[in-house]
């Protein structure tokens, strides 16, 4: 006797939708919940139904917003420890459906897919997670968002019908547009939002790629491909010259405490392109030294620099180096600006000043200079490995940043005469300043202050002559620093003629013996660093 075959029916998916079918639908699934409750409440007032996943749904309910869990829409729970929540055709079909295509509408009707008009989504905090000192690879991997980028890219791709919001700061403007446009966003708005969304996922993927490259590659400093991820801070009035347009950007991967991109402007005119370049150079100089130090920058070269027991004394010594060039310059200070320093600056016209702190009386005095840009920035922390990018036509040159400090054990006296302790202190200060001067660079320093600076000349002897002219009689007893080796003994001979007492230079010339012989003849101690500081 034959048994009858029993046909197994396919299980029907029952979706318990607590949403009204003819209402517009918004999907909110965010890591950054800033402004979210107000946005959701605004959407509700405009007649939107809201679908959210896990943590976002919980947050909105606590904020008094009625939402439907994505799991109830898809009839699938969050699974795999939260790795799978929104990866479902009901979600992505609602986002990706082109409402002008009959086939798409047919599929939506067949599979009971609701169109989703608004998606608000930002991603897991991957960058803040890996910034933690004790972050493990396992912790980082769990912060690699999958569903979020998929929704963001889907919504951005379908900008014709869907508005994708990745930045909470956009919420008020979107609500206003919806109110004024019968619950709809404009195509122009959706296009702008889509561009921002693709930038958002690009930055996110770049951070992951760079992190995993360091973890898995061991890690190649100069890999086959490098992706730049930068975010605009502000537009600038113009670039180096008025006919050039410009903007100020921040490296999304930057982690250095005290970087110029984090400076806060307290007062004064808007920063210019050249102001920012000069502030960066000036700030780098004063952060190089532990003692109270002041640097005055003009056209991206120091025209004065000094250290002293007090910051006002350091300023006075720095200003004495080149009073003419200091006019219209930029001042950087690695201590609090007090009222004595503010008074010492007096009526001198300067473009900007930057310091870690200001006392109130000093600030009140400085603010009287209406156009003076007053900048505040915490001192730099320990330097991490960083690359220096130089733009050339059609590409980049990339190198290690010149961040190395000079240790006492790294220098070598090459002459018969040794420098004194006082001379050695000045030599080290001169060498530190030299690194921030355009090549060819010659620095004269006396008692902790630069007294003559020769910069940017094609011939080293020309730079020496310029430094001598700037210093005048102050050359007598000063020390001399050169950013690269002396090609001939003429620099030593000139140094002796004007009264230089000691010299520091990298060495490495085929004619080093000539320079050493000249120094011995003149009784000038000379030390080699074995390292140069070209700055092109």
Q: Which residues are catalytic?
A: 157, 299
The tokens for 493 are: 């001979």
Residue 342 is encoded by which pair of tokens? 């503010």
DSSP 161-196: T-EEE--GGGHHHHHHHHHHTTT---HHHHHHHHHH
Tokens 């200070």 — which residue? 333
CA proximity to 516, closest of 438, 429, 417: 417
Question: In DSSP terms, which residues pair with 472 in a beta bridge?
Answer: none
User: How far, in Å, CA of 315 to CA of 321, rounded?
Assistant: 10
Q: What angle do CA 410, 412, 415 make, to 5 degrees?
A: 170
- DSSP codes of every residue in 203-246: HHHHHHHHHHHHHHTS--SS-S-----EEEEEEES-SSSTTS-E
Sheet holding 350-355, edge to edge: 264-267, 373-376, 350-355, 329-333, 293-298, 301-307, 449-454, 442-446, 479-482, 502-505, 526-528, 412-413
CA distances from 198 to 150, 231, 246 (A): 11, 13, 23
Closest CA to 168 of 40, 51, 24: 40
């Amino acid at each position: 006797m034959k048994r009858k075959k029993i046909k197994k029916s396919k299980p029907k998916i029952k979706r318990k939708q607590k949403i009204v079918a003819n209402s517009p639908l918004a999907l909110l699934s965010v890591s950054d919940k800033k402004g979210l409750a107000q946005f959701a409440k605004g959407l509700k007032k405009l007649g939107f139904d809201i679908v959210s996943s896990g943590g976002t749904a919980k947050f909105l309910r606590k904020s008094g917003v009625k939402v439907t869990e994505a799991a109830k829409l898809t009839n699938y729970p969050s699974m795999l420890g939260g790795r799978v929540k929104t990866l479902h055709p009901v979600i992505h079909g609602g986002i990706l459906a082109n409402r002008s295509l009959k086939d798409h509408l047919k599929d939506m009707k067949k599979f009971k897919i609701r169109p989703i008009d608004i998606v608000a989504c930002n991603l897991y905090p991957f960058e803040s997670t890996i910034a933690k000192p004790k972050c493990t690879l396992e912790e980082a991997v769990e912060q690699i968002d999958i569903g979020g980028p998929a929704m963001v890219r889907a919504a951005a791709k379908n900008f014709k019908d869907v508005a994708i919001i990745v930045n909470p700061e956009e919420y008020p403007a979107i609500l206003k547009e919806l109110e004024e446009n019968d619950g709809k966003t404009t195509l122009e708005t959706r296009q702008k939002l889509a561009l921002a969304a693709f930038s958002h996922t690009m930055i996110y993927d770049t951070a992951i790629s760079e992190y995993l490259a360091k973890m898995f590659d061991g890690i190649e400093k100069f890999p086959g491909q490098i992706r730049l991820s930068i975010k605009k801070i502000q537009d600038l009035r113009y670039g180096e010259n008025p006919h050039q347009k410009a903007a100020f950007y921040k490296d999304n991967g930057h982690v250095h405490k005290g970087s110029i991109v984090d400076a806060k402007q307290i007062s004064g005119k808007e920063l210019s392109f050249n102001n920012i370049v000069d502030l960066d150079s000036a700030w780098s100089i004063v952060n190089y030294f532990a003692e109270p130090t002041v640097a005055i920058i003009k056209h991206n070269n120091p025209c004065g620099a000094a250290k002293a027991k007090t910051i006002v004394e350091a300023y006075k010594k720095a200003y004495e180096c080149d009073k003419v060039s200091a006019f219209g310059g930029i001042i950087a200070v690695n201590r609090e600006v007090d009222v004595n320093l503010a008074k010492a600056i007096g009526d001198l016209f300067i473009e900007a000043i930057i310091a870690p702190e200001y006392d109130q009386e000093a600030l009140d005095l400085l603010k009287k200079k209406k156009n003076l840009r007053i900048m505040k920035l915490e001192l730099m922390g320990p330097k991490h490995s960083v690359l220096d990018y130089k733009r050339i036509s059609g590409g980049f040159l990339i190198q290690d940043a010149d961040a190395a400090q000079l240790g006492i054990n790294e220098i070598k006296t090459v002459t018969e005469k040794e420098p004194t302790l006082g001379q050695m202190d000045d030599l080290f200060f001169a060498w530190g300043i030299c690194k921030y001067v355009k090549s060819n660079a010659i620095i004269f320093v006396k008692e902790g202050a630069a007294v003559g600076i020769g910069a940017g000349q094609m011939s080293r002897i020309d730079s020496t002559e310029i430094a001598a002219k700037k210093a005048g009689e102050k050359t007598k007893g000063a020390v001399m620093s050169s950013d690269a080796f002396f090609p001939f003994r003429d620099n030593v001979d000139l140094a002796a003629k004007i009264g230089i007492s000691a010299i520091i230079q990298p060495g490495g010339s085929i004619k080093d013996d000539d320079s050493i012989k000249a120094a011995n003849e003149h009784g000038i101690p000379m030390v080699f660093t074995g390292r140069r500081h070209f700055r092109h």
